[in-house]
Amino acid sequence: MTFEELLAFAGRNHLLSMALAGITLALIWTEISRLTRGFKGLRPAELTALVNRDNALVVDLRPSGDFEKGHIPGSKNVQMSQFDPENKQLAAARALPVVLVCKTGQTANTAAKRLKKAGFEHVYVLEGGIGAWQQADLPLKRGR
Protein backbone atom coordinates (compact mmCIF):
# COMPACT_ATOMS: atom_id res chain seq x y z
CA MET A 1 0.00 0.00 0.00
CA THR A 2 1.36 3.41 -0.91
CA PHE A 3 1.16 6.55 1.17
CA GLU A 4 -1.34 8.05 -1.26
CA GLU A 5 -3.62 5.02 -0.89
CA LEU A 6 -3.36 5.29 2.88
CA LEU A 7 -4.34 8.98 2.77
CA ALA A 8 -7.26 8.17 0.47
CA PHE A 9 -8.45 5.46 2.89
CA ALA A 10 -8.18 7.89 5.81
CA GLY A 11 -10.16 10.47 3.82
CA ARG A 12 -12.96 7.98 3.15
CA ASN A 13 -13.03 6.61 6.73
CA HIS A 14 -12.97 9.58 9.09
CA LEU A 15 -14.27 7.65 12.10
CA LEU A 16 -11.69 4.88 11.77
CA SER A 17 -8.93 7.46 11.30
CA MET A 18 -9.95 9.34 14.44
CA ALA A 19 -10.19 6.10 16.41
CA LEU A 20 -6.69 5.08 15.29
CA ALA A 21 -5.30 8.49 16.23
CA GLY A 22 -7.01 8.32 19.64
CA ILE A 23 -5.69 4.85 20.38
CA THR A 24 -2.19 5.86 19.29
CA LEU A 25 -2.24 8.93 21.57
CA ALA A 26 -3.57 6.85 24.48
CA LEU A 27 -0.74 4.31 24.05
CA ILE A 28 1.87 7.06 23.90
CA TRP A 29 0.42 8.75 27.01
CA THR A 30 0.37 5.45 28.91
CA GLU A 31 4.00 4.70 28.08
CA ILE A 32 5.18 8.20 28.99
CA SER A 33 3.27 7.99 32.29
CA ARG A 34 4.79 4.59 33.04
CA LEU A 35 8.30 5.86 32.37
CA THR A 36 7.92 8.98 34.51
CA ARG A 37 6.01 7.57 37.50
CA GLY A 38 9.12 7.18 39.65
CA PHE A 39 8.79 3.51 40.50
CA LYS A 40 9.31 0.29 38.59
CA GLY A 41 7.04 -2.61 37.83
CA LEU A 42 8.29 -6.15 38.43
CA ARG A 43 7.26 -9.49 37.05
CA PRO A 44 7.07 -12.38 39.55
CA ALA A 45 10.49 -13.82 38.62
CA GLU A 46 12.07 -10.38 39.03
CA LEU A 47 10.46 -10.05 42.46
CA THR A 48 11.95 -13.38 43.54
CA ALA A 49 15.40 -12.29 42.36
CA LEU A 50 15.12 -8.92 44.13
CA VAL A 51 14.14 -10.57 47.42
CA ASN A 52 16.97 -13.10 47.19
CA ARG A 53 19.61 -10.62 46.01
CA ASP A 54 18.73 -7.42 47.91
CA ASN A 55 16.56 -8.58 50.84
CA ALA A 56 13.61 -6.54 49.56
CA LEU A 57 10.66 -5.86 51.83
CA VAL A 58 7.42 -7.16 50.29
CA VAL A 59 4.31 -5.34 51.51
CA ASP A 60 0.95 -6.96 50.74
CA LEU A 61 -1.82 -4.34 50.72
CA ARG A 62 -4.76 -6.74 50.46
CA PRO A 63 -7.33 -7.18 53.25
CA SER A 64 -6.15 -9.50 56.04
CA GLY A 65 -8.66 -12.21 55.06
CA ASP A 66 -7.21 -12.40 51.54
CA PHE A 67 -3.67 -12.28 52.94
CA GLU A 68 -4.38 -15.25 55.23
CA LYS A 69 -5.79 -17.29 52.33
CA GLY A 70 -2.45 -17.02 50.54
CA HIS A 71 0.42 -14.57 50.30
CA ILE A 72 3.98 -14.34 49.04
CA PRO A 73 6.25 -15.99 51.63
CA GLY A 74 7.97 -13.38 53.79
CA SER A 75 5.58 -10.57 52.87
CA LYS A 76 4.11 -8.24 55.48
CA ASN A 77 0.41 -7.38 55.49
CA VAL A 78 -0.52 -3.69 55.75
CA GLN A 79 -4.07 -2.60 55.01
CA MET A 80 -4.22 0.27 52.54
CA SER A 81 -6.37 2.20 55.04
CA GLN A 82 -3.47 1.92 57.53
CA PHE A 83 -0.68 2.42 54.98
CA ASP A 84 1.60 5.21 56.14
CA PRO A 85 5.07 5.79 54.65
CA GLU A 86 6.15 7.27 58.00
CA ASN A 87 5.24 4.06 59.88
CA LYS A 88 8.14 2.76 62.04
CA GLN A 89 8.41 -0.54 60.15
CA LEU A 90 8.39 1.12 56.74
CA ALA A 91 10.66 3.99 57.76
CA ALA A 92 13.23 1.44 58.98
CA ALA A 93 13.20 -0.12 55.50
CA ARG A 94 13.84 3.20 53.71
CA ALA A 95 17.24 1.96 52.48
CA LEU A 96 15.87 -1.39 51.26
CA PRO A 97 13.96 -2.05 48.07
CA VAL A 98 10.22 -2.07 48.87
CA VAL A 99 7.86 -4.10 46.69
CA LEU A 100 4.14 -3.44 46.94
CA VAL A 101 1.61 -6.16 46.16
CA CYS A 102 -2.17 -6.00 45.90
CA LYS A 103 -4.85 -7.95 44.08
CA THR A 104 -4.33 -6.52 40.57
CA GLY A 105 -1.61 -3.86 40.85
CA GLN A 106 -3.79 -0.74 40.98
CA THR A 107 -3.77 -0.19 44.76
CA ALA A 108 -0.04 -0.85 44.83
CA ASN A 109 0.50 1.96 42.29
CA THR A 110 -1.20 4.44 44.62
CA ALA A 111 0.89 3.26 47.59
CA ALA A 112 4.09 3.41 45.49
CA LYS A 113 3.43 7.07 44.66
CA ARG A 114 3.07 7.80 48.38
CA LEU A 115 6.36 6.04 49.17
CA LYS A 116 8.20 7.97 46.45
CA LYS A 117 6.76 11.23 47.73
CA ALA A 118 7.97 10.31 51.24
CA GLY A 119 11.52 9.88 49.93
CA PHE A 120 11.81 6.13 49.39
CA GLU A 121 14.22 5.55 46.52
CA HIS A 122 13.82 1.88 45.61
CA VAL A 123 10.08 1.35 45.13
CA TYR A 124 8.58 -1.45 43.03
CA VAL A 125 5.12 -2.79 42.25
CA LEU A 126 4.32 -6.40 41.35
CA GLU A 127 2.70 -6.02 37.93
CA GLY A 128 -0.57 -7.92 37.79
CA GLY A 129 -0.66 -8.26 41.57
CA ILE A 130 -0.99 -11.54 43.42
CA GLY A 131 -2.80 -12.98 40.39
CA ALA A 132 0.40 -12.71 38.34
CA TRP A 133 2.30 -14.49 41.14
CA GLN A 134 -0.25 -17.34 41.07
CA GLN A 135 -0.18 -17.56 37.26
CA ALA A 136 3.60 -17.97 37.45
CA ASP A 137 3.00 -21.04 39.67
CA LEU A 138 5.01 -19.56 42.52
CA PRO A 139 4.26 -20.67 46.10
CA LEU A 140 1.82 -19.00 48.44
CA LYS A 141 1.92 -19.25 52.20
CA ARG A 142 -1.33 -19.57 54.15
CA GLY A 143 -2.08 -17.96 57.52
CA ARG A 144 -0.25 -15.04 59.01
Which sign, positive or negative, has the C-alpha torsion 129, 47, 74, 110? negative
> What is the reported pLDDT for 36?
66
Q: What is the pLDDT of residue 80?
A: 83
Closest CA to 30 of 109, 111, 88: 109
CA dihedral 103, 105, 87, 38 (to 10 degrees): 170
Nearest to 71 by CA among 131, 128, 136: 131
Q: CA-to-CA distance for 14 and 19, rounded, in angstroms?
A: 9
pLDDT, one tens digit per residue, over 71-87 is 999 999 988 888 888 87
At 85-144, the pLDDT tens digits run 887 777 777 888 999 999 987 889 989 998 988 888 899 999 999 999 999 999 898 877
- pLDDT at position 131 is 92
Distance of alpha carbon 1 from alpha carbon 56, whole angstroms? 52
pLDDT at 49: 92
Compute the average pLDDT of residues 10-18. Answer: 89
Confidence of residue 35 (pLDDT cuts 50, 70, 90): low
pLDDT given for residue 102 in this prediction = 93
